[in-house]
Amino acid sequence: MIVNPFRYSAPVGGDDLVGRGAELELLQRTAEEGNNSRLVAPRRFGKTSLLRQLVSEARSDGWEAVYVDFFGVLTLADVAARIERAYRRDLSGVAGRWFDGVRRTLQSVEVGAGPISAGVSLRPGAAALQDRLDLPRRLHERHGRRTLVVFDEFQSVLATQDEVDALIRAEIQHHGDAASYVFAGSHVGMMRELFGDRRRAFYAQARELELPRLDPEAAANFVVRRFTDTSRDPGTALAPLLELADGHPQRTVLLAHGLWELTPAGTAADEATFAEALTQVMTEQLREFEGTWTTLAVGQRRVLTRIAEGVSGLYAGDAPGGRSGSNRTAVRALADRGEVVPERTARSGYRVVDPLLALWLRSGRPQTWPAE
């Protein structure tokens, strides 16, 4: 059986990764120099896919490489546990055996386990975290191995305690020869707070890398190749698909997946096939759109819709002086969440990141698709 070649719900790598060669190269070069990077991009732009690829190539280049996902951490103990789990999973060979031995010497991550010595003002979990952050230095000292450490969803650590970033930086700042770090996150505002605020520990500590939308030609080649490899032709559906997806990585793949489903082997899709595929995809996304909508304040809903509609004069409602600035505040909040990004060519000066959400907003936020 030939299976649908488009994977839209899990990180992709190897042949499935479209473009990203330049970004990969920059991340590799920065790590090689002993410097750190940060990768900031909206949800589903392919951060994790790129990072996994980076990890796999780093290993081939002779690094140890550890990928840690901080999504959902609530305490310092959680942070410590995530790091430990990543080392256990990602180190093998000499380094893996070294880690098996070292693990036993680490402070327990169980909160409240063991007596906390008097006079130590560390919060629960802090000592355990420090121990785990120190691992690359010890590995380097013992075996001369360099480690590439990837911290994905790094902004999540802000949920654990005040100044957690200071604690982390204090541990890793002397790792120049032992380790290089890549910090990634999808909450643009929190990442900016961590790395762009002079008062924070990580201020200017990592080279920023943005993840752009997919190059249209690369996206087209990818879709055509996957269809051709599976005895199908995207035909005249290709143009409207690429136009709607507009370089959004996951949306491109999701729409291609939907189109492929409706294209029997040995045939070519057309515009009618695309319209049908779009209906199915939109129908499946309605709950997600409604979920996003529900979490927004009323002012944010209004501004987001105006951006989706491509109107000019986003701040028209903001009277100079008085209760001014509310639309500005809403735009800022939406940008921090990664729902909108500045766009020079748009009349509003912004674009909605997710083209399918934008379509739903423009279409009057219907509860069924197409709208009745």
Ligand X SMILES: Nc1ncnc2c1ncn2[C@@H]1O[C@H](COP(=O)(O)OP(=O)(O)OP(=O)(O)O)[C@@H](O)[C@H]1O
Residues that bind Mg ion (CB under 5 A): 47-48
Query: Which residue, 159 or 201, has its beta carbon nearer to ligand X?
Result: 159
Q: Find the shortest distance in angstroms from Cβ 124 to ligand X.
A: 28
Query: For residues 158-217, which are near ligand X according to CB under 6 A?
Result: 186
Query: Which residue, 9 or 312, has its beta carbon nearer to Mg ion?
Result: 9
Residue span 17-56 as binding mask against ligand X, x where in contact by CB under 6 A, dash where not: xxxx--------------------x-xxxxxxx-------
Query: Which residue, 20 or 123, has its beta carbon nearer to ligand X?
Result: 20
d(CA 175, CA 289): 43
Tokens of 109: 């991550």
Beta-strand (E) ranges in 170-327? 179-185, 207-210
Beta-strand (E) ranges in the chain? 37-40, 64-69, 147-152, 179-185, 207-210, 340-342, 350-352
d(CA 214, CA 20): 8
> Is there a contact between 177 and 31 (Cβ–Cβ < 8 Å)?
no
Query: Which residue, 102 or 224, has its beta carbon nearer to ligand X?
Result: 224
# residues contacting ligand X (CB under 6 A): 23
Burial class (CB in 10 A: 0-12, 13-18, 19+), 317: middle
Query: Which residue, 54 or 77, has its beta carbon nearer to ligand X?
Result: 54
DSSP 79-148: HHHHHHHHHHHH--HHHHHHHHHHHTTSPP-STT-SPPPTT--PPTTHHHHHHHHTHHHHHHHHH---EE
State the binding partner of 45 from ligand X, Mg ion, none, CB within 5 to 8 A by kind: ligand X
Q: Find the shortest distance in angstroms from Cβ 156 to Mg ion.
A: 11
Task: Name the one range near ligand X by CB under 6 A: 6-14, 88-96, 227-235, 270-278.
Answer: 6-14
Q: Find the shortest distance in angstroms from Cβ 175 to ligand X.
A: 25
Closest residue to ligand X in the complex (CB): 46
Q: Find the shortest distance in angstroms from Cβ 358 to ligand X.
A: 17
Q: Find the shortest distance in angstroms from Cβ 156 to ligand X.
A: 11
Pairing of strands 179-185, 37-40: parallel
Query: Which residue, 24 or 116, has its beta carbon nearer to ligand X?
Result: 24
Q: Find the shortest distance in angstroms from Cβ 38 to ligand X.
A: 14
DSSP 129-184: HHHHHTHHHHHHHHH---EEEEEETGGGGGGT-TTHHHHHHHHHTT-TTTEEEEEE
Report the run of H or E that residue 289 belongs to, with start and end. Answer: helix 271-295
Candidate residues 4, 9, 56, 279; the one interacting with ligand X per rule CB under 6 A: 9
> Is there a contact between 188 and 335 (Cβ–Cβ < 8 Å)?
yes
Query: Which residue, 27 or 41, has its beta carbon nearer to ligand X?
Result: 41
Candidate residues 168, 244, 253, 307; the one interacting with ligand X per rule CB under 6 A: 253
Candidate residues 30, 37, 250, 285; the one interacting with ligand X per rule CB under 6 A: 250
Task: Name the one range near ligand X by CB under 6 A: 2-10, 128-136, 192-200, 276-284.
Answer: 2-10
Tokens of 216: 């249209």
State the binding partner of 168 from Mg ion, ligand X, none, CB within 5 to 8 A by kind: none
> What is the CA angle 228-219-343, rounded to 5?
160
**List of residues contacting ligand X (CB under 6 A):** 7-12, 16-20, 41, 43-49, 186, 249-250, 253
